[in-house]
A and B are shown apart, each in its own frame.
Chain A
Amino acid sequence: MAGIFEHPGRELPDKTTAQIHAESAAGALADAGLSFADVDGYFCAGDAPGFGPLSMADYMGLSCSYVDSTEMGGSTYVAHVGHAASAIAMGKCTVALITLGGKPRTGGQGPGGAGRMGTAPESNFEGQWGIPGAVGGYALAASRHMYEFGTTSEQLAEIKVAASLHAQYNPNAFLRKVVTVEEVLDSPMVSSPLRRMDCCVVTDGGGALVVVAPEIASQLSGPKVKVLGHGEAPKHTNNGRIDLTHSGAVWSGPRAFSEAGVSHADIDYASIYDSFTITVLMTLEDLGFCEKGKGGEFVSDGALVSPGGKLPFNTDGGGLCNNHPTNRGGITKVIEAVRQLRGEAHPKVQVPDCQIALAHGTGGSLGTRMGSATLILGQEDS
């Protein structure tokens, strides 16, 4: 992976969605030392306007031999990196550009893809109950997790606290204030057991990634990281025998670890999708960083705080504090993992000698109809 860019904007009323994609693309290509003319593979998802890759390839004037418009919600961009690596390995393209952008904060737009949900085959049976956006489904998963495993609101709050400790050093973070467990517990209930501070921010914004073939990488002077492993998995409602206590990470994680040939002890840093605090807790269990049901214990006592914690996570402040551009956080998960491997995270939160990092995305509704994608990245010589 040769180029990354996180759009600095969090409120972009004067930009169009296409413009945010293109500005992000320009940033990532410049970071890689490449230009739009070098791109021959293009990857985007449901947040891309109009006809997706066709509209955006047209807007940016791309000449592509390969396009991919995979749609797995916020996990898509993590999966895109794996898809790009596969396409490159197959010789289908050599410079793959991945973009995300949108403006749910100032543009009045719902999450990417939301407009299609009315035609979903399940809509007659899930659209009548007043689900308050994404939080409702995640709250139901949290409810069941608490019932089965005794997970507490205090344990969930620890995750927000750790994210806020990191966000204070990120000048672009939407929320930079450090918060305490008590402040999280005192924030208003949104959909029990999840409170306002259990929820990610709603931000305009964008991001882009550039994945290149080894022969291209060798010609680029900038820092690169290697894609070591990728796994992905949709999870479904299992014919109504839904199990809310796990996500698709139970499948995507082992695939990524196996492909990378590394173990949990090798992971120096983890970007864990944090649409809500429960998303992090359940994902840590599902990826095998702790036993199922023990996530609450795992995240206590500063385990996620960088540096020094057992598993430093989301050192940009994550979706909980920094950025959840266009309601899809997968791309920022990859970006911060790459920063850590390059040693370019903020010095206060940089993991010393970060060799191997994991980035995980969660799309859709946790534990129900959702997508999980896991990526393991390593330093250039790993």
Chain B
Amino acid sequence: MTTTAEAGGLPAPEPYPNTEDAPFWAGTAEGRLVLPKCTNCGTVIWYPRQFCSECSGRDVEWFQASGRGTIYARTVVHRAQGPWRDAAPYVIAYVELEEGPRVLTNIIGVDPAAVEVGQEVHAVFIPAGAHRIVRFTR
């Protein structure tokens, strides 16, 4: 786990890609937000997996999303544990992507107290071990 200025001063736990979500992580490694879409009903799937919970389809295609979204809910964490203790205060949010899904993430690069529901944000790709995770900033 690394804590770098680029990570917004936050720990960046490494994900463990599996055979279902590997294309997502291949995308983030290139600085692209790549999401699965159901080939049967066209629904954009979140979290990335090879199963559509809308139509039960099991075939997906991967496409590049815009990386833009709007904050749906947010909390400023003041009391944290372990490696996150010294990072507080920091922001956890659900960001509603332009493509529909509401994804859990951190908002970085802004004063935590100034982060509000409804603000527009965009994706940034943060090194996390051998991979990159997706946080958002204004």
- Residues of A at the B interface (CB closer than 8 Å) are 121-122, 124-133, 136, 139-144, 147, 188-194, 236-242, 244
Chain B's interface size range is 35 or more
Contact A130–B15 (Cβ < 8 Å): no
Render B57-86 as a binary contact track against A, CB cut-off 8 A, 1 for contact.
000000000000000111111111100100
Contact B117–A188 (Cβ < 8 Å): no
Contact A127–B13 (Cβ < 8 Å): yes
Residues of A within 8 Å of B94, CB to CB, are: 140, 144, 242, 244
Tell me the complex Cα distance, A109–B90, Å.
26
4 further A-B pairs in the complex, CB-CB below 8 A; given A124-B47, A144-B72, A244-B73? A130-B84, A140-B92, A239-B101, A244-B72
Contact B81–A133 (Cβ < 8 Å): yes
Contact B117–A129 (Cβ < 8 Å): no
Residues of A within 8 Å of B21, CB to CB, are: 124
Residues of A within 8 Å of B133, CB to CB, are: 128
Tell me the complex Cα distance, A128–B78, Å.
17
Render B6-39 as a binary contact track against A, CB cut-off 8 A, 1 for contact.
0000111101111011000000000000000000
Contact A140–B100 (Cβ < 8 Å): no
Q: Output the least CB separation between B129 and chain A (Å).
A: 11
Tell me the complex Cα distance, A191–B89, Å.
9
Q: Output the least CB separation between B91 and chain A (Å).
A: 9
B4 beta carbon closer than 8 Å to chain A = no
Tell me the complex Cα distance, A320–B53, Å.
36
Contact A190–B79 (Cβ < 8 Å): yes
**Listed residue (A126, A194, A237, A240) with the most chain B CB atoms within 10 angstroms of its CB:** A240
- Closest A residue to B131 using CB positions: A124
Residues of A within 8 Å of B54, CB to CB, are: 239
30 pairs, CB–CB < 8 Å, chain A vs chain B: A121-B20, A121-B49, A122-B47, A124-B47, A128-B128, A129-B92, A129-B106, A130-B11, A130-B84, A130-B90, A131-B92, A136-B75, A140-B74, A140-B93, A143-B73, A144-B73, A144-B94, A147-B73, A189-B78, A190-B78, A191-B75, A192-B77, A239-B54, A240-B44, A240-B45, A240-B47, A240-B102, A241-B100, A241-B102, A244-B94
Contact A240–B128 (Cβ < 8 Å): no
In chain B between 87 and 138, which residues have their CB closer than 8 angstroms to a CB of chain A? 87, 90, 92-94, 100-106, 117-118, 128, 133
Tell me the complex Cα distance, A239–B47, Å.
7
Residues of B within 8 Å of A189, CB to CB, are: 76, 78-79
Tell me the complex Cα distance, A2–B18, Å.
49
Q: Output the least CB separation between B86 and chain A (Å).
A: 11
Contact A130–B79 (Cβ < 8 Å): no
